[in-house]
Every structure is written in structure tokens, then in C-alpha cells.
Amino acid sequence: MSTFRIRVLSKDEIGTKTRVYGLPVRPEANWVYYRYANGQLSKYFFMRLEKRKCYLQIALNRSLPEVRQMIASLPPSDRIIIEVGTPFVKVYGSSGIGMVYQCWSAKLGRPGYVVADLKCMDRGYTEVAAAAAAGASAATCLGLAPIETISEFIKHCAAAGIDSTVDMMNVEFPFEVLQKLRPLPDIVVLHRGVDEHDLNRERSIPLHMIRRIKGTYPVTISVAGCETFREVTSTVFNDADIAIVWRPFYEEPHKMAELAESFLKVVI
Amino acid sequence: MASPIKVFEVFTTIFNFAIFFFIVRMIFRKKKGAPAGSPLLQFLEKISQQARHAPKGAPTSTQPAATPLKTPIALAFSSLSQKTAQMPLVPVPTAKLQKSKQYLQIALNSTLDDARSIISRLPPSDRIILEAGTPLIKIYGAEAIRTVRAMAWPGAYVVADAKTADLAEREVEMAATAGANGITCLGVARVETIDRFIAACKQHGLDSMVDMMNVESPHMLLRQLRALPDVVVLHRGVDETEFSKEKQIPYYQIKQIRGSYNITVAVAGGDTIREVQRAVFNDANIVVVWKDFYSSSVDTVTLAAQFLKEIK
């Protein structure tokens, strides 16, 4: 996987063949130039999330062969984001992320948007670099982490050219975290954990926070912990940009295609 | 009407086939008392036996694997399969922490190659705990734990710093199958997650470690839990250490926690000899260091010896 993205060259630096080790320029267009290990230069299209569009994020947590089959049965839609779950990352490492990225890109016919759910808590930069090299377009950090860690994480994500995501799981007041952060993350995840949902049914997804955060900060909001069509509908109705669905796909991997299509109908 | 020559040809063909099958059978026939044939043959034998013993009308696949089989080959195979089912793929972790002892926990955080060379330089000691760090696990996956376990001396205590935040059972299972003796969970995670984590650790025979990074009062958290964890890790993060120097490792909490609960306490975040001394003086059972052991060097041996000397 190490040969995947080696060096990012900005548009102006193509003729000069200089090595770029600092911050890559993030162009407005959805392409960059990449130089591969063999020296070949290629124009590389990648997926940027568009504003005013809703996405369905499918978290994959099963074993690698099953995940491959699941991706193969998904409809090749622009509006699907693949998330590589934390247990999956901890079992297969960055090579697992690379494999998922390749499968999903092969299915789409162009580079797909893959989120690596790293859940960084401390010193996340090595993990971020590894995930970016493996082909992830976004990585997550816990909102519970120390503020220093989160802001370093966001800077390193920008340096690696990927979207930074802050996961607000178990954070009582996401505003308190966001107001201390400079620069702001690209995506904020409002989260209801799996374990807490199983053991404590009273806890609901904090849908009221979506409009409050979007009104104050220019960030993309995604909501995790949706399980039913009803929950996804109310999430999208409340202005969330991304709905993260995990359990239905985990429990019925053979029904991937139908589930994804019916969820996509809800996510408008 | 068939001519006698054609009839003769047909008969010869059949005869040839019969001889061929007879020879094949002779080759693959099992001698008395000899061990069972190749695994493939055993497998075929088992399948045919199962099909024979299955009640009529029921599909073979629904037949449970533990059906008593009569033939010697099948019996040998079934006992073998039972043995392999009982035997885990990795050796059962036997090392246990003792509360009267003090330990040095070395966190391996850079790359697997570095981890390998550091472990090979370390003196085999029952007072050294090896930790597969979070970056290592997230980059190499469970392979990192397996490598540390494989490279370590026999009976070494290996900790997987998985920093579980959700889906505790799956991560504990992963660490257990990879051969870890202990696994960490975040103290900032939901109480439900930590409860599940501790229960799963008990089930799999691992030591549960709760990492109190960014937790304001570990005491309050411990009171909320259904069962106590085996180890509490008091932690100051690396980024905190680098960017806000005024944050201190809460040494005073060590005695608070040890005084109220019967728990082992580990301290992470201090890297100098002086900080290790402080932690040991304040009654910590385990001192976690990583910065001096980030990459392998000639000094690794002397450093480990120095640290071990401080931790009596």
C-alpha cells in the first residue's frame, strides 16, 4: 500500500519536479497531481463532499472477505461514503483501509470517499499519515481527547490532504470543544455509541444540536447511531449532511444492495 | 445388430476401467494400524460417514459436527478435531500481574521493525511489560500484537493499547486471539462501554486496564462502574505534555485510588528518570515509558537497566 500516494504536487510545481514535503496546496477543483513511486505523474481525481448534498455513510465492521463482498454488492452511487470501522482498523491496520479503498474505487470506477474511523485519542499524526497513504479521504478523532491533541490532529489532516472529523461521542457540550478549536474540523460527528444504545435505550441522538452547530460554524455535520429508516429520515430532516448507518448492514450483509437503495431513497 | 468385435471392445473398456479403479483403491487403501491418510482423504471420509449416518430426509449440513462416528478413521478425525477446537491458536497467556511487585511498561510506538529490534535488545525480565502501542495497532492491526508476542521472551506480559471507545467486546476478543495479556479502554468512554469491556475481559481471561486520560476525577468514575478494572492507568497525553507544560501528572491520585480500592495503578506520561522516580515514590505499581524506547539504539539495554534499577 505504500506505493499508493507518494507525494502531492501542486499545479504550479509540475514542471519543476521539486519535492514537496510541506503542506500540499488543496485546489478548489477536485483533482490533484500525484507522483507515484516509479516517477510517473498522474492527474488524480478525488471525491470532495459537496455542500447541499446528503450522504449515506455505511460503516463496515465485519471481516475483510465479508467486507469485500459487501462492497461489491453496493450500488455504485456518489452519495455513498464507506466508513472503515474502528474494530476493522484495529484488526487489519492500514492495509485493511487500503483494501477497502481499492474495492470501493473499483466498484465506482473512480476514487471513492473512504473514512478511516481511527478514533484518535493521543498523538494521532502517525495514524493519520498511514491512513492517508492507504487511501482514506477522512480520519476521525475523539472529541473527548485533550484540545491540544484535536488541534494537532486537524493540522496533520490538512497536511496529509484529508478531511478531519471530530467525533462528539460522550461529549456533553460539543460547543465547548468547537469554540476552543482553531482551525475548525471539516466534519463534526454527533454520535450515540453502540454499547450505550444497547444498554440504555433512553439516550437519543442529539438532533437538536445539528442546526445550532451549523448555524454557528461552517462545518459538515454527520450523525452516527442511526439504525432505522425513521431515524435516518429525522436526521436528514434536521439538516444533517451525512447519516451514518451501521447495524442493519452489519446484521444482514446479504441484503446490502436493497438496504442501501432503500436508505438512499430516504437520504435526499 | 452389434458385431462381436464391438461387444468385445465394450467389454475390454469396462474391464480396463475396473482394473484402473482397483489399482487406485490399492494405492489409497489404509493399512491396519497405520495413521490415517492425507487430510483431504480424512475430510472426504468424514463427509461420507456423516452422509451415511444422517437421518433420512434431513439435509447433511444441519447435522451437528459432534455426531459420534463409528469407523476408526472418523473416530481419529473427530478426536483430533475436538482437540484442535479446545486448543487456541496462540499459547494461553499465563503471565499475571502481582500487586506486590513494581513493573516497567515499555510502550512500542514507532514501527514493527523498531519494535522487533527493541524487544530483541531488552533483558528478559518478569518486571518488564511490553505494550503494543496505539499507532502500532492502528497501522499494523492485530499483527502488531502477534509480532510483539512472538518476539517477546516466553512468559512475557503483553498489553494491547487498543484504547477502546466503543464496541468493547469485539476489541477484547481481537486482543485475546492475538495473544495479549491485557488491553486498555478509555476512561472517557461511556460507562456502559467500560462495564462491557471489563466483563468481556473477565470472560476472555485478560487484565482490563482503564486509561484515565482527560478524566477529571478517576475516583468518581470507578464508583460508577459495576465491577472494578484490574488496572487503572493515570495518563497525561503526549500532546498535552508537549503543548501545555503546566499540566501535571496527578501523582496524588495514586494513593487516593490505592487507598480506596484494591487495584493496580499505572502511571503514563512521564519519561525522564526523575518522573519515574516520582511515580515509584508515590506508590505506582506500573510505570509506562515510551519516548526513550521509540527507536532502537545501543543505549536501549542500559536505559532499561537504569529504569529497572529505579523501580525496585
Q: What is the pLDDT of residue A17?
A: 32
Q: What is d(CA A134, CA A119) in angstroms, rounded to the nearest whole number?
A: 17
Q: What is d(CA B265, CA B252) in angstroms, rounded to the nearest whole number?
A: 12
Q: What is the pLDDT of residue B47?
A: 67
Residue ranges of domains in chain A = 1-45, 48-266
Q: What is d(CA B47, CA A137) in angstroms, rounded to the nearest whole number?
A: 48
Q: What is the pLDDT of residue B40?
A: 67
Beta bridge pairs of residue B254: none
pLDDT tens, chain B, 312 aa long: 567 778 888 888 899 889 988 888 877 775 554 445 566 667 766 766 665 555 444 444 444 444 444 444 544 444 444 444 444 455 444 678 888 889 999 999 888 999 999 999 888 888 999 999 999 999 999 999 999 999 999 889 999 999 999 889 999 999 999 999 999 999 999 898 999 999 999 999 999 999 999 898 999 999 999 999 999 999 888 887 778 777 788 889 999 999 999 999 999 987 788 888 889 899 999 999 888 888 777 778 888 888 888 887
- Average pLDDT of span A237-259: 90
B95 vs A100, more confident: A100
> Is residue A247's pLDDT more than 70?
yes
* Residue from B112, B147, B166 to probe the interface with A (highest A Cβ count within 10 Å): B166
Show the cell assigned to B301: 539495554
Task: Return the biggest CA–CA distance within chain B.
Answer: 108
Q: Which residue of A has its CA nearest to B235?
A: A122
Residues of chain B neighbouring A127 (CB-CB closer than 8 A): 134-135, 138-139
Q: What is d(CA B200, CA A76) in angstroms, rounded to the nearest whole number?
A: 38
Q: What is the pLDDT of residue A256?
A: 87
A164 vs A13, more confident: A164
Distance between A13 CA and the closest CA of chain B, angstroms: 31
Q: What is d(CA A119, CA B19) in angstroms, rounded to the nearest whole number?
A: 67
Q: Which residue of B has its CA nearest to A196?
A: B192
Q: What is d(CA B253, CA B140) in angstroms, rounded to the nearest whole number?
A: 34
Give the position of cell 442546526: A211
Record: fold of A48-266:
TIM Barrel (3.20.20)
Give the predicted TM-score (pTM) of the model: 0.76
A199 touches chain B (CB under 8 A): yes
Domains, chain B, ordered by start:
4-86 (no CATH), 103-310 (3.20.20.70)
Q: What is the pLDDT of residue A198?
A: 67
Instruction: Note whether A57 and A242 are within 8 A (CB).
Output: yes
A130 touches chain B (CB under 8 A): yes
Show the cell assigned to A178: 468547537
Q: What is the pLDDT of residue A105?
A: 86
Q: Which residue of A has its CA nearest to B161?
A: A90
* Residue from B108, B136, B137, B139 to probe the interface with A (highest A Cβ count within 10 Å): B139
Cβ-Cβ contacts under 8 Å for A147 (sequence gap 6 or more):
A177, A180, A181
Q: Mean pLDDT across chain A, nearest whole number?
A: 81
Top-ranked range on mean pLDDT: pick from A28-37, A98-107, B21-30, B200-209? B200-209
Among the partner-chain residues A130, A146, A149, the one whose CB lies closest to the CB of B139 is A130
Binary contact (A146, B162; C-beta < 8 A): no
Q: What is the pLDDT of residue B173?
A: 94
Structure confidence by residue, pLDDT tens digits, A66-83: 999 999 999 999 899 999
Show the cell assigned to B243: 503543548
Q: What is the pLDDT of residue A24?
A: 39
B312 vs A1, more confident: B312
A253 vs B54, more confident: A253
Beta bridge pairs of residue A138: A115, A163
Give the position of cell 444441519: B62
Binary contact (A146, B242; C-beta < 8 A): no
Contact map slice: A 134-193 vs B, CB within 8 A? 142, 144-146, 148-149, 152, 169-170, 193
Q: What is the pLDDT of residue B51?
A: 59
